[in-house]
Structures are given as C-alpha cells and as structure tokens.
C-alpha cells in the first residue's frame, strides 16, 4: 500500500488531494514538523531533508510534492494522467512554473495576512507579494481564456499541482475580479469532491484551515 508522510497542514495536502483524485488505497502518516517528528532517525532515512511530504510505494521512495503527484498521475491515473505525451510535458512545465513563479509569493502573502501573530506580520511584505503575483495571475488567467483547465477541458495533475497554491488566494481576500477566468478555475478546483475530502468538506482553503505551504517552523525546519 502507498504510504504518505506529512500533515494536511503542509504541502502534503497537495499529495493527499492527488491520492483522493486517483482513488487508490493509501496510508496517511500525519507527522507534526513542529514537534520534531520529521527529524527522527526513522524519517530521515526516508527523506534526509527532514521535510514533508514523502511517499513510499513498494521499493520506491519519493519526496517533493509535485514530483509525487506526477508519479501518481502516470502510474495510477484516476483521471489525473495527461492524455498525450505532450500534455505530460505541459503538466511538468506548469508544475515548475508554479514552483518558481507563484509558491514563494503566496507563502509570503499568507504568512503575513493569516499565519503569523499580528505583531509579527508585515503588511508591506504582503502588499509587495500581492503586486508581484499580478504577473503570474494574469498569465494563468489568459491561458484559461479558451479552456476550463490547464490542459484543456479535462482536469489533470497540472491543476492539482498549480491549484494547491492558488486556492489560498480567496482565503486572504485577494480581489480576483480583474481575472474572472482564474477565479472560476479556482472555484472549480476547490469544489472537487477529492479536494473537499482533504479539507473537511470546505470548497476551498479557509483562513486558519491550514498552515501555509513551506512555512518555516519557529523552532526550525519547514512545514512544507
């Protein structure tokens, strides 16, 4: 059986969403980074980075949430698998794009609007992240002009990998009225039954529901 390590309060939630979409049996080991559970000798033998998520499937061990999801899509499908080899390449491209252009900015925004104690927040940092997010938001909104999902009219692993970060934007009350196609895509992704099972029936990320992906633990380590 597949075993996934990591709390749903981390980027492991991205993989839990993919596992639910794939419809495969799995065991979820909800490690708490803040209690040092990812620094145990046993876990470091699985992921020497001491971070989550990590996935075991037989003899295979994987870490990095987007890589895990691409593996799940290729080997278990459940509707996640890109239809053509070109679509797989596009899914990889969009995954790298989200990792490089989006995730760090979303992390800054959510940390300074939701997660950090009020006296530790920097609204200037949040506003700067919001401004820098406008470019990738506009790119994705334009891409969705003639398609319902990233690879066309069919939901895929690309939407899970990219959507995991974008689903934070409504939770911080980011005004998406200038990008209605993106807003509609976020709504469609958040309403999927697999996503709602991971997040307790919620149609999207709720303020206080999860710790932002990659949030540093004040005692060391990372929650993503």
Q: Is the pLDDT of residue 220 over 60?
A: no
Round the average pLDDT of the chain to a whole number and report it. Answer: 90
Q: Averaged over 115-124, what is the pLDDT?
A: 95
What is the reported pLDDT for 203? 55
CB environment 46-63: b (16+ within 10 A), e (fewer)? bbeebbbbbbbbeeeebb
Q: Averaged over 171-177, what is the pLDDT?
A: 92
Residues 6+ apart with CB under 8 A from 199: 8, 13, 205, 206, 209, 210
What is the reported pLDDT for 219? 27
**Ramachandran assignment for 87, one of left (phi > 0), alpha (psi -120 to 50 degrees), beta (any other):** alpha
Q: Averaged over 194-200, what is the pLDDT?
A: 93
Q: Is the pLDDT of residue 211 over 50?
A: no
Query: How far apart are the two ends of the chain, measured CA to CA in Å?
Result: 23
Q: Reduced to 3 states, what is the DSSP secondary structure of residue 86? A: helix
What is the reported pLDDT for 29? 97
CA distance 22 to 4: 14
Domains and CATH numbers, the chain: 2-76 (3.40.30.10), 85-198 (1.20.1050.10)
pTM comes to: 0.89
Say which residue the tokens 């999860």 belong to: 210
Q: Is the pLDDT of residue 3 over 80?
A: yes
CA 193 to centroid of chain Cα atoms:
16
Q: Which residue has the higher pLDDT, 115 or 101?
A: 101
Going by C-alpha positions, the residue among 55, 72, 40 that lies closest to residue 6 is 55
Q: Averaged over 21-31, what is the pLDDT?
A: 96
Percent of the chain with pLDDT over 70: 89
CA 182 to centroid of chain Cα atoms:
16
Q: Which secondary-structure segment (H or E) carries 3?
A: strand 2-5
Enumerate the β-bridge partners of residue 5: 29, 54
In the sheet with 26-29, reading across from the earlier edge strand, the strands are 26-29, 2-5, 54-57, 60-63
């Amino acid at each position: 059986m597949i075993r996934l390590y990591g709390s749903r309060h981390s980027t492991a939630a991205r993989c839990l969403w993919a596992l639910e979409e794939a419809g495969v049996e799995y065991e979820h080991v909800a490690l708490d980074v803040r209690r040092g559970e990812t620094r145990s000798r046993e876990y470091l033998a699985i992921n020497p980075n001491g971070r989550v998520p990590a996935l075991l499937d037989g003899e295979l061990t994987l870490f990095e949430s987007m890589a895990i999801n691409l593996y799940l899509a290729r080997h278990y499908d459940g509707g996640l698998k890109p239809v053509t080899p070109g679509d797989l390449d596009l899914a990889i491209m969009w995954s790298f794009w989200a990792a490089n252009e989006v995730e760090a900015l979303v992390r800054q925004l959510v940390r300074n609007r939701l997660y950090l104690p009020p006296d530790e927040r920097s609204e200037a940092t949040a506003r700067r992240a919001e401004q820098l997010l406008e470019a990738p938001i506009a790119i994705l909104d334009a891409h969705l002009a003639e398609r319902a999902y990233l690879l066309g009219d069919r939901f895929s692993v690309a939407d899970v990998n990219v959507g995991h970060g974008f689903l934070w934007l409504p939770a911080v009350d980011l005004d998406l009225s200038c990008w209605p196609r993106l807003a509609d895509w976020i709504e469609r992704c958040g309403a999927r039954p697999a996503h709602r099972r991971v997040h307790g029936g919620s149609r999207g990320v709720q303020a206080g529901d999860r710790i932002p992906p990659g949030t540093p633990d004040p005692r060391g380590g990372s929650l993503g």
